[in-house]
Amino acid sequence: MVIHPSTSRSAANLYNRAMRFTKVEALGNDFLAIDGLAETTLAHLPQRPDFPELVRALCDRSCGVGADGALVLGPPDDPDAVDFRMRIFNADGAEAEMSGNGLRCAAMLAHARLGLLSQRVQTGAGVRAVEVRTDERGQFTGAIVDMGEPVFDLEKIGVIQDRLAAAVEGAIVPPTAVRGGRCGESSIDTGKHRPPGTAVGGTVEHTVSGVRGILVSMGNPHFVTFLDEPPKSQSAELAHLGAAIERHPAFPNRINIEFVHAPLRDRAFVLPWERGVGFTLASGTGACAALVAGVLAGRLDREAEIGSPGGALRVRWDEASGRVFLDGPATIVSEGDWPL
């Protein structure tokens, strides 16, 4: 697969300056990986001032290759302590701190490149440990990621608390909010019968854009809200709420949103809205945030299957260590070249 988008430059010049990429996916959450382990100069691409534009062009599903984001693999800052570095950029070109699905994809590529089953990976959220699973032929089948401990401190999550408090006091639920509850009422938990900042299972719920939810960071920020009915993919009402919450003034760096239905204590379904992307088929950090919020809200056990439109992940919040572990697959879709 060789991709050359239309341009005025000659084909020979394009080919001579082509950048190799690998398209990877984890439950449909897809990325374009740039392997700076194989060619170290590629690890420095994010230093280019036009790199966000390059990412947007690559990830465009109409005029580019199409993806939820881009991964850049490269040498770590401390080779004695860490095996490699992963940087992630959302489809809008903005860099994110962490991606659970992206990290499994990166681990798959690093396993092929470095042959490591146990990996320590430098990310924007700190070092993460990954254990790779293989079949009898030594081929990658999946990975378990130590996602670290969830964070509830609003300042560390990146919340401007004064703006959040103002939103709580003036919260109004849109009349067209997601239908599906009893008697035609909104199925989103608006918390209208509870005072602002109500404690739920040891943490605090907040109201953002009229929606009640739990704020948590899994290396990147999340707002988790629970629904009485399974969320419908590409729902116009949920898209409206996702966009409003993502760009709420309380979140200067924006935020990811999980719309969660948890009918049983050992399973839940999540519709993820990722900042800079919109709806995605899956989110690794979103699945972890959903489990943590579900445990705190008394809806989920500490280990559960977290489904999404793209498939299911296994998530465990270890009580002894307080760390969250994410287990799931990743695959290679294709390879190609893109002009620089």
| pLDDT tier at 3, thresholds 50, 70, 90 | very low
How confident is the model over 4-17, as a mean pLDDT?
42
Task: Tell me the pLDDT of the chain averaged across its residues.
Answer: 87
For residue 166, give both structure tokens: 């103002």
How confident is the model over 159-169, as a mean pLDDT?
70
How confident is the model over 91-119, as a mean pLDDT?
96
E strands, 75-166, are: 84-90, 95-96, 118-123, 126-134, 140-148
Task: Indicate if the pLDDT at residue 283 is higher than 70.
Answer: yes
| pLDDT tier at 13, thresholds 50, 70, 90 | very low
Domain with CATH 3.10.310.10 in the chain: 11-147+329-339, 154-322
Query: What is the structure's pLDDT at 203?
Result: 61
Q: Radius of gyration (Cα) for the chain, nearest Å?
A: 20
Reported as half-sphere exposure (CB side, CA atoms, 13 A), residue 120 has a value of 10
Residues pairing with 311 in the sheet: 308
| pLDDT tier at 7, thresholds 50, 70, 90 | very low
Fold classification of 154-322 is Diaminopimelate Epimerase; Chain A, domain 1 (3.10.310)
E strands, 47-184, are: 69-74, 84-90, 95-96, 118-123, 126-134, 140-148
Pair 93, 56: CB distance under 8 Å: yes
How confident is the model over 288-310, as a mean pLDDT?
97
Question: Was domain 11-147+329-339 assigned CATH 3.30.70.260?
Answer: no
Query: What is the structure's pLDDT at 291?
Result: 98
132-136, 162-166, 277-281: least confidently modelled range:
162-166
C-alpha to C-alpha distance for 181 and 170, rounded to whole angstroms = 23
| pLDDT tier at 165, thresholds 50, 70, 90 | low
Q: Is 21 helix (H, G, I), strand (E, B) or coil?
A: strand
Task: Indicate if the pLDDT at residue 31 is higher than 90.
Answer: yes
pLDDT tens digits, one per residue of 185-214? 334 444 443 434 444 445 678 989 989 999
pLDDT tens digits, one per residue of 221-240? 999 999 999 998 778 999 99
Task: Indicate if the pLDDT at residue 1 is higher than 70.
Answer: no
CA 337: distance to chain centroid? Answer: 26
Pair 100, 143: CB distance under 8 Å: no
- Give 310 or 205, the one with higher predicted confidence: 310
Task: Indicate if the pLDDT at residue 22 is higher than 90.
Answer: yes
